[in-house]
Structure 1
Amino acid sequence: MASQKRLICKSSELRDAGNGVRFATHDKNGEEASAFVIRHHGVVFGYLNRCAHIQVELDWQHGQFFDADSELLMCATHGALYLPDTGECIGGPCRGAFLTKLLITEKDGKVYLMD
């Protein structure tokens, strides 16, 4: 079965280390899930919007995923810190765990989720 792509946003909506774009998707069990895309060092990354520690959304306010230094993704609930490029938790209660990464592609000024 060929993979399909779903438009998430325009590339111009993602500023390096700026606000992310949230969207709805499904997890591996087919359940509805919140997800997001961010841009870090010029590259777009996407994850399910679920902390690896407990299943809560990460953003402080809608679309705000980066810490105060704009270098790491941070869970608003318990302060877990994640590398934006891999989703690995490097600080906080879930050190060594990972966010659920999504297959994202950017082409012709648009960002897509690959299903």
Structure 2
Amino acid sequence: MILCRLDDLADPGAKGPFVVDLNGERKQVFVVRYDGQVRGYLNSCPHVGAPLEMDQDKFLDLTGSEIICAVHAARFDPLTGDCTWGPCRGRRLVPVALTIEDGAVILANSPNLS
């Protein structure tokens, strides 16, 4: 499933949420581009399960250096998904596998959600 075009994803930048089928369930995911790398994550804060974005495509803080939860301002490393500040420190976002093909960011397969 194509999520977005790589050319439409700023560096740093984010896109989403996208509703996808993962392991037979409808889930929201988002993609982040940071330091030339692209990552995908479930759109769910590990603290309370709330969506992270403040608005469509708004997953990063004002500096573009961290993913931020709109509910309680927890911060996450864009390349690892590790929580670096907030009530879920020590936990991480659930990654989703992506591939880049012909300039498209594609959902590769389902994460292990168990």
Specify if TM > 0.5.
yes
Q: Secondary structure at the match of 1:60?
A: coil
Residue 71 (structure 1) aligns with: 65
Does structure 1 residue 25 correspond to structure 2 residue 12? no
Does structure 1 residue 16 correspond to structure 2 residue 11? yes
% identical equivalent positions: 37
- TM-score by structure 1 length? 0.88
- TM-score by structure 2 length? 0.89
Residues of 2 paired with 1:88 and 1:19: CA distance? 17
The unaligned stretches of length 5 or more in structure 1 are 1-5
The unaligned stretches of length 5 or more in structure 2 are 110-114
**Shift in Å at residue 31 of structure 1?**
2.5
Does structure 1 residue 84 correspond to structure 2 residue 78? yes
Please tell me the residue identity of whatever aligns with 1:52. P
Are the structure 2 counterparts of residues 66 and 103 from structure 1 closer, same or farther at C-alpha, using a change threshold of 3 Å? same
Alignment of 1:1-115 (within 5 A): 6-28=1-23, 30-115=24-109
**Shift in Å at residue 89 of structure 1?**
0.3
Q: Secondary structure at the match of 2:17?
A: strand
RMSD: 1.3
Residues of 2 paired with 1:67 and 1:43: CA distance? 18
If each structure's strand is expressed as a fraction of its own residues, which one has the higher value? 2
Task: Give the length in aligned residue pairs.
Answer: 109
Residues of 2 paired with 1:19 and 1:42: CA distance? 12
Q: Secondary structure at the match of 2:71?
A: coil
User: Runs (4+) of structure 1 moved beyond 6 Å?
Assistant: none
